[in-house]
Chain A
Amino acid sequence: MQSENKDFDDLMIDYLSESISERDQQRLFEFLNSNVDLKARFDEMIKLHAVSFIPLFEVEKQANYKRLIQQIKEDVTMVGLSRSWANGFRQIAAIVILVISVSASLFYVYRDITSPSDASICYETIAPIGSQTKIILPDSTVVWLNSGSSLKYNQSFGKKNRVVTLSGEGYFVVSKDKKKQFTVHTEFLDVNDIGTIFNIKSYKNDQEITINLIEGAVNVYLPDNKDTGTLTMKPNDKFVYNKITKKIDCFQTDASRSAFWTTGKLCFVDATIEQISKDLERKYNVKIRISNNKIKNELFSGSLNLNMSLKEILLYIDVDKKFKISQLGDTINIK
């Protein structure tokens, strides 16, 4: 058995990377309880680990300060708005503060400490499953990342061009700059624009990629699909690309609904329970299995407030009380 071979330092390596297994965790605690010297080694390794990050913090200090100040200013305007505006805005403000405090997880790809060259430094922001993150890019473009998504850009962002790579769902409010085109790369397609508001949903596990244009104009380009070339979207256009059939669909809709999630709600129009459960899975970090074919085809419309617990939401969807919900570990079965 592999874990038998791990010594105290090995266990600490796992512990510090937050990946220690149950068995190893027991062994680590036993070691610590049985030997005072190991307690000192424990402290020492924790400190070495922490101190190693000092140069990184120093490098990030200035950029982080800018973000911090921006965050402070936004908190202030949001608080101001919430007093004078109706309930809806109060919720947004609350979510903004909550989101900012809960989830941002930015890490810095750190290749060479002694001589970081421009091209080698790239920033990635991840919104872990179950949380959302708001990012302000150096050109003051604002991006909301939904649960389980990531956004990458490198240090040359904003110098010659503005290029980001998105995996998952992002709501973009692109700051206007006619000289520098803003490009979002996703797994299957690219979106170009110079100053607009749009929402892209491109999760790896979803069959479809959807783009909703709320304001302005964007060009959508499918590198793999040369026949279509570039497609220009108008406000309130909804673009759907099916990854499997490679079919493209573009129609008018109320695009602002697509950005509802940034307010902490989920909004559905004629959605199947399967589509809804995909969103719920990402939000609550669970697996939902639907084994009843009848409910699979039913369509739902409405909005869900994500302050509710998953159980409350499922009961809420189940208007006719015909679901049988059972839970086994992280999997929820609906019959």
Chain B
Amino acid sequence: MSEMRYEAPTTLAAAVALLAGANGRASVLAGGTDLLIRMRAGSVEPGLLIDIKGIPEMTSIVAENGGYRFGAAVPCMELLEHEAFAKAWPGVIDGVKLIGSIQVKGRATVGGNLCNASPAADSVPPLIAAGAVAGIVGPDGRRESPVENIVTGPGKTALARGEIVTSFLLPRRPPHAGDAYLRFTPRTEMDIAVVGVGVNLTLDDSGVCRQARVCLGAVAERALLVPEAAAALIGTRVDAAALKRLAAAASAACRPIDDKRGTKEFRIKVAGVMARRAAEMALARARRKN
């Protein structure tokens, strides 16, 4: 049996060097809540585990340019407990809150949730709706990428070999902005999303929606940013008619599969319902914020 090695570098440079030296046979270990399960199932057999939780840049939450940058290896519970961040981005928190149990959230990270590249990942739609930008480091240095460009398909990312997502930057919040994430699951907790919707919208002083982003999860091979759904809200007061158009656009954008968690037709139908409800939540939050 292959021997599996474990390293816990304390700097990004060291992590990148280890990853480069492993020639594709290493896995980054953050919370381990996906990786350990895949290792046990035999679907991945890394020769080296690189534990990045000891790297300060990956585990911090800092204010930046009026927004927030949080490390890709911040455990979900820490993010939920950060009052200021939770106040600014309740929709991102909605998603993070739904990643498994309290126990899982004690370990799981948004970086892992994104890079595991499940189409149903709960933190991804609100992050994309928020316009989050990922910080990436690799053998060729640093770069940035909007989160919606990271995942390319189930289990696949656009990261080059040797690259690690290090942080997420969320922009400054304008007044009258609100975001929300809702998902459908058969039980109240502990399920993988059958449909997930993240909505982020900004109203002007008179209550008209000026900006919106709508992102669907679990209804395609990756999270889908749906401009048509956002367009249904922009320029409106997000009234019933606009919400109806939003729902229709959301359902139309789905290209889901039948699997053990839901059928195609169910996902298409419920995507519209959840989109409408998420938009209503985001609207309520936007109206409360000055």
| Chain B associates with chain A | no
Q: B residues within 8 Å of A by Cβ?
A: none
Q: A residues within 8 Å of B by Cβ?
A: none
